[in-house]
Structure 1
Amino acid sequence: MELDTMELPRKNKLMEAYQHDPQFSHRFFDYELSAAGYEARAQELMQRSFQRAELAAVIEQYMQPHGISPLAAQYIKELSSDAFVVIGGQQAGILTGPLYSVHKAVSVILMARQQRELLQKPVVPVFWIAGEDHDINEINHTYTANLGKAVKRQFKQPTVLKTMASDTVYDQKELTAFIKKIFKSYGETAYTHDLLENVLRTVEEQQTYTGFFTSLMNELFTQHGLLFLDAAYKPLRQLESKYFSQMIENADKMASTIYSAEQDLHAMGHKKPIESEAQDANLFYVHETGRVLLKRKAGKFVNEQTGLSFSEEEMHEIAAEQPWLLSNNVATRPLMQDLVFPVLAFVGGPGEIAYWSLLREAFHTLGIRMPVIVPRLSITLITRKTQEALKQTGLTINEVLDGQLPWRQEQWMNEQRDEQFDSLLEESKKLLELQYEKMQSHLLKTDPGLLPVVKKNLQFHQSQFDYLQKTKEQSILRKHHVQYERYQTLSEQLFPEGSLQERLYSPYFFINQYGEGFIDQLLKQPYQFDGSHQLVYL
């Protein structure tokens, strides 16, 4: 593997402001992304108290069925004592979800290592799984590459209720068949048999989307001590009981600050990340019909669709006695993370950092400050086949990621056209149409009943010309199929469906080609956490 970096042609406006505009970052965040920021955050954490022993026990209990490596065990022990945490997370996608799930994990591990060395204090990596999310359609699919396109493959097991991913049980037989089809589309390599067997064994051992996700990720990162915890894990909910009460007590003020921050952000020309409202409760309730969002209305916490209505006192009772019936939304999840964990730094993608930008005053409302916010590594993996395609087409990676590939491919196609044939074909079409116009003029006067027949006959001949045109184009493509396939390779590999590769494909697409040591090799690259896009040449 070799590493290079580039600036993405299409920049994210908010991320640009966060990384390059000190006034913006000081307005919406607490700590700067620098050595001084980490030092200041570490000093703050040492003044706060955490349920360390209880948290370490919860993580150990959660990870035990999936396996705990010696390094992970060491990190759990350190966390129970005085360790800081670098944390990031993701929904529980099938086959780990898109590549950026792995890129987040890589980022968390490397940032924890870096800060352990710089601060000379224990810093451990944690992956927070958003198992409380209930939109199964966001996680029940993956993409495969085919004929220049990314094809969405959805696991269509019907779900009726809005159950959390951690509670949603999949059909093992159906998921096994689905994954076999995915691997078949990857193609057979020296690694396929053992890799597929491992994945299918995990399907059989687990029952829920979150369990399946955790086991796969834990196996990929087992040598690196990455700790996992599901946000919906019941023992964690019990640990969070008093923090839910804090959020309930301060729901009004927190919602007001979040709404105000979003209006300020929008006034500066940025999009509204979560479309917040001043009456938000920013909490979900796990109802018999599924997970439902609560609002505040007339002093109550309500969900009008289900008829739920709780007083503040009743909400506190739920938090104390049945905290597993409550869960966070995108606004309160960061707050809960920070109350539970001694978070030195949070690693997130552009979308996550956008909604974190709304939360500074909400943190302050609870008497805490935001951690250092670190943009996750953004990575494109470039196979040798893709490298050759770039070379032979004369395209650069910058041009492809700038969306120039479609018109460059069209330009190449036009250069291969047989202009004399096209001219003769067009001339023939015009002569035919002219003769039919003469026939129609004649029949209009002498036998108008035949006009529909003539029109239909003309359409038939025109369709034959179209068929001839397409056949000629296919002949050209066959003649130049090697070069055409290079353009297709670039399309499906580097910028599929107009998106970065990391947003669609599963890491198993590449692990199938390069073996299970592929993740370990990814972690050995000298990445820079400077906002640049990382190019890994395989």
Structure 2
Amino acid sequence: MPTDCISYSETNYFSSLILDYLSEKSDLKDFYKRFPKLENFGEQIGEMKNSYDHGIRKDLVKVLKKQYSSLDISDSAKQNIELLESEDTFTVVTGHQLNLFTGPLYFLYKIISTINLTKELKQKYPENDFVPVYWMATEDHDFEEINFFNLHGKKFKWNQADERAGKTAVGYLSTEGLDEVFNLFSAEIGGGENAEFLRSLFKEAYLEHDNLTDATRFIGDKLFGKYGLVIIDAQDAELKKHFIPYAENELTGQLSCKKASVVMERMISLGYSVQVNPREINLFYLTDEIRERIIEKEGKFYVNGTPISWSKEEILKELREHPERFSPNVMLRPLYQEVLLPNLCYIGGGGELAYWLELKSYFEAENVTFPILLLRNSALLQTAKQNKKRKNLNISLKELFLKQHELINRKVRNISNIDIDFSDQKQHLVEQFQHMYELAEKTDISFIGAVKAQEVKQLKGLDNLEKRLLKAQKRKLKDEVERIAQLQNELFPNKSLQERQTNFSEFYVEYGDELITRLMENLDPLESNFKILTFGKE
């Protein structure tokens, strides 16, 4: 079964910032420290070995063992947790929200990219060990982003959720109400061994675990524990205590905002869009009931929208006594992660890397090593039948990624028995009017405006004729147009990349473990190409 690829730029789905980063454009050199090349990890290992607080390792392992205590984990995951106590062990991290039943496909791509990079690092630097880590975004409170997944074009949504949904951290939420989603999901996936595995996975995760954190850890371990994946929930007092000095700096000096704001101005001056705008204080106050912003007014600190307030001395006392109540937002979470873990590399999507690129000067100000940033793998999964249809319709892989109207117009022009491209006629018209401009300049320059108006009118007339002819040919070639649209709609649901829409279960029910095996074999994290993987027989 073949694997093809195209460049990220040819997909038309990646920002100029990410494309320029991948091409190592000189304008971006100041926003990161080392580019993700295998040979650059040697220096990163050396720097991390000297800068990381190895005393954190003992707490890290203790907390991980506690978090895994109810799971029957694989030897690989167990061994990797133990390895984290060694000063010669380093991590590669990806992070993700607690999306219902993993959410879109790229959940798999993130984790597989992370696992595969640790394998490559072990081959290159055998004297060290490398542990793939999935950092669960348990402290996020955006419930609407995570409470659904898509399967067979249908949206499976968690409606009867914990009343705290959207108010406090999603990791705290009870799994109550997910039996209804399970029943709908169970009916949708049909029969067979793979379907039974998915039913069991969903049921054991959500109906036999009390909260979303434990449910997500169970799924991640079931799918990837045997590959050595270690899953961490950093919302723990034993871990948060190591972040106290940095949280204190944030409360009293607002360092992240000051540093990131300068970088953002530079990015904007270079023509890039800014992914995240920092707040003056990038911390939330977190309890079982709320996760709300901390704000400062005239020397006092408040929890936004609540009566909770402190003096400076009182909030620092609260921080020291209850560090778990102080939750970093998107600007501070990267720093917390890098303080806590002996990490070499963060693997994320384009949007994630965009905000990480805002943070290097903040890391330097806090004297924390900035990680190597690596774009996760991306892929399009298709069946052999779909691939055959594409070839029969004479659509190249690059054309497949065009906007649908562009693709259809191009194919109609290609297969039509008449010429629908009026480019030659337009060029001829422009040349004729050039002569008339010259004539007007020699005789009466006031006529130039009239000549220009007539040129615009006639070019517009040719455009309209071309569009009408194209529309007529589309009607005549209706069957081909419908087949083109149908194929692209199957591969790009909701006119978006498949990996951002479709849940892994849609493919797992058909291909089982082959899905993950093929992805593991074909997603090379250091290869900057968008992969197209073909499954099944024609």
Same-fold status (TM-score > 0.5): yes
Partner SS for 1:30: coil
Q: Answer whether contact 1:393 1:483 (CA < 8 A) is retained.
A: no
Whole-Å separation in 1 of the counterparts to 2:4 and 2:317: 54
Following superposition of structure 1 onto structure 2, how do residues 302-381 of structure 1 map, counting pairs within 5 Å?
A: 302-381=302-381
Residue of structure 2 equivalent to 1:275: 277
Distance 1:158 1:215, change over 3 A: closer
Q: Answer whether contact 1:287 1:325 (CA < 8 A) is retained.
A: yes
Residue of structure 1 equivalent to 2:171: 166
Is 1:95 matched up with 2:97?
A: no
Whole-Å separation in 2 of the counterparts to 1:339 and 1:508: 35
Residue of structure 2 equivalent to 1:461: none
Structure-1-length-normalised TM-score = 0.80
Partner SS for 2:197: helix
Is 1:216 matched up with 2:197?
A: no
Cα deviations across residues 210-259 of structure 1 (Å, max 9, x unaligned)? 2222111110012101000113245433454454335445x422210111
Q: Answer whether contact 1:282 1:332 (CA < 8 A) is retained.
A: yes
Displacement after TM superposition at 1:483 (Å): 9.0
Following superposition of structure 1 onto structure 2, how do residues 281-296 of structure 1 map, counting pairs within 5 Å?
A: 281-287=281-287, 289-296=289-296
Displacement after TM superposition at 1:358 (Å): 0.9
**AA in 1 matched with 2:178:** L
Q: Answer whether contact 2:106 2:500 (CA < 8 A) is retained.
A: yes
Cα deviations across residues 16-48 of structure 1 (Å, max 9, x unaligned)? 121223423321112222245312211111112
In the alignment, structure 1 segments of 5+ residues that lack a partner are 417-472
Displacement after TM superposition at 1:313 (Å): 2.5
Q: Answer whether contact 1:25 1:32 (CA < 8 A) is retained.
A: no
- Greater displacement, 307-316 / 234-243: 234-243
Cα deviations across residues 487-509 of structure 1 (Å, max 9, x unaligned)? 424313x2111211111111111
Is 1:260 matched up with 2:262?
A: yes
Partner SS for 1:524: helix
Is 1:113 matched up with 2:119?
A: yes
Structure-2-length-normalised TM-score = 0.80
Equivalent residues, number: 468
Residue of structure 2 equivalent to 1:448: none
Distance 1:175 1:516, change over 3 A: farther
**AA in 2 matched with 1:56:** V
Is 1:523 matched up with 2:520?
A: yes
Is 1:155 matched up with 2:158?
A: yes
Partner SS for 1:117: helix
Whole-Å separation in 2 of the counterparts to 1:409 and 1:27: 43
Q: Answer whether contact 2:172 2:211 (CA < 8 A) is retained.
A: yes
Displacement after TM superposition at 1:397 (Å): 2.9
Whole-Å separation in 1 of the counterparts to 2:391 and 2:189: 24
Distance 1:223 1:517, change over 3 A: farther
Partner SS for 2:334: helix
**AA in 1 matched with 2:20:** A
Displacement after TM superposition at 1:335 (Å): 0.3
Q: Answer whether contact 1:295 1:303 (CA < 8 A) is retained.
A: yes
Residue of structure 1 equivalent to 2:486: 488
Residue among 149, 163, 170 paired with 1:142: 149
Partner SS for 1:80: coil
Displacement after TM superposition at 1:412 (Å): 6.7
Cα deviations across residues 34-71 of structure 1 (Å, max 9, x unaligned)? 24531221111111223111111111211232332111
Following superposition of structure 1 onto structure 2, how do residues 232-247 of structure 1 map, counting pairs within 5 Å?
A: 232-247=235-250
Distance 1:271 1:167, change over 3 A: same
Distance 1:179 1:116, change over 3 A: same
Q: Answer whether contact 2:347 2:376 (CA < 8 A) is retained.
A: yes
Whole-Å separation in 2 of the counterparts to 1:534 and 1:338: 30
Q: Answer whether contact 2:408 2:485 (CA < 8 A) is retained.
A: no
**AA in 2 matched with 1:516:** D
Cα deviations across residues 294-317 of structure 1 (Å, max 9, x unaligned)? 233333433442244333332322
Whole-Å separation in 2 of the counterparts to 1:518 and 1:194: 14
Displacement after TM superposition at 1:118 (Å): 1.2
Partner SS for 2:170: coil
Partner SS for 2:267: helix
Q: Answer whether contact 1:281 1:301 (CA < 8 A) is retained.
A: no
Partner SS for 1:281: coil
Cα deviations across residues 288-343 of structure 1 (Å, max 9, x unaligned)? 75100123333343344224433333232222211111111111101001100011
**AA in 2 matched with 1:208:** N
Partner SS for 2:85: helix
In the alignment, structure 2 segments of 5+ residues that lack a partner are 417-473
- Greater displacement, 34-43 / 124-133: 34-43
Displacement after TM superposition at 1:371 (Å): 0.8
Whole-Å separation in 1 of the counterparts to 2:86 and 2:330: 29
Whole-Å separation in 2 of the counterparts to 1:91 and 1:362: 24
Is 1:53 matched up with 2:53?
A: no
Residue of structure 1 equivalent to 2:200: 197
Displacement after TM superposition at 1:157 (Å): 2.3
% identity of equivalent residues: 25
Cα deviations across residues 233-288 of structure 1 (Å, max 9, x unaligned)? 45433454454335445x422210111111211121111211224xx211110157
Residue of structure 1 equivalent to 2:529: 532
Q: Answer whether contact 1:18 1:24 (CA < 8 A) is retained.
A: no
Whole-Å separation in 1 of the counterparts to 2:296 and 2:412: 59
Residue among 499, 511, 514 paired with 2:511: 514
Displacement after TM superposition at 1:167 (Å): 0.7
Is 1:44 matched up with 2:47?
A: yes
Displacement after TM superposition at 1:196 (Å): 1.2
Whole-Å separation in 2 of the counterparts to 1:204 and 1:103: 26
Whole-Å separation in 2 of the counterparts to 1:485 and 1:362: 52
**AA in 2 matched with 1:521:** R
Distance 1:209 1:288, change over 3 A: closer
Distance 1:207 1:115, change over 3 A: same
Displacement after TM superposition at 1:407 (Å): 5.5
**AA in 2 matched with 1:92:** L
Whole-Å separation in 2 of the counterparts to 1:177 and 1:315: 43
Distance 1:43 1:391, change over 3 A: same
Q: Answer whether contact 1:345 1:373 (CA < 8 A) is retained.
A: yes
Residue among 73, 76, 80 paired with 2:78: 73
